[in-house]
Amino acid sequence: MPSKAHVKTLRQHMEKGTAALTDGEALEAVELFPVWRPERDYVRGERLRWEGLLYRLIPETHHSQADWPPDLTPAVWARVDDPAEEWPVWVQPLGPEDAYPAGARVSHNGKHWRNTHGDGNVWEPGVYGWTQTETP
């Protein structure tokens, strides 16, 4: 059985390796990412898993709390979606770091939408900056 020190060293190497993965690669290996835990310090861009999904920290730093898990705190944690998914579900952007780029495609309220506003679209489809489309 490996020592605690050896396991800790292995975990550090694994975290360095997973940090280099693209979001698409990371989604193929979600199990390699640490599980979100309360009472821990996280840094901007850090990815982790929660209830089988992958999340990325938005602010510069964050100290997690038991009653603020990633799925309930979209201002803190952005869900990492599959870049190969053709019409991912629209998620309200919280600022420029997660705003939709020009041409982005999403599904919202049972319809497909294409971003026609340009880069930095933070509006809800059907309100402004999106065109409903029937075909990909």
- The domain locations on the chain are 1-80, 85-136
Instruction: Give pLDDT, residue 61.
Output: 94
pTM over 0.95: no
Measuring CA to CA, which residue among 33, 36, 40, 38 is closest to residue 19? 33
Instruction: Give pLDDT, residue 73.
Output: 87
pLDDT digits over 25-80, tens only?
Answer: 888 889 999 999 999 999 999 999 999 999 999 889 999 999 999 988 877 888 88
CATH number, domain 1-80, options 3.40.1620.10, 2.40.50.100, 2.10.10.20, 1.10.3430.10? 2.10.10.20
What does residue 77 show for φ and ψ, rounded to 5 degrees? -120, 125
Measuring CA to CA, which residue among 88, 60, 93, 50 is closest to residue 74? 93
Measuring CA to CA, which residue among 56, 53, 45, 50 is closest to residue 27? 53
Q: How confident is the model at residue 122 (pLDDT cuts 50, 70, 90)?
A: very high
The CATH number of the structural domain formed by 85-136 is 2.10.10
Residues 6 or more apart in contact with residue 14 via CB below 8 angstroms: 32
Domains 1-80 and 85-136 share a fold: yes
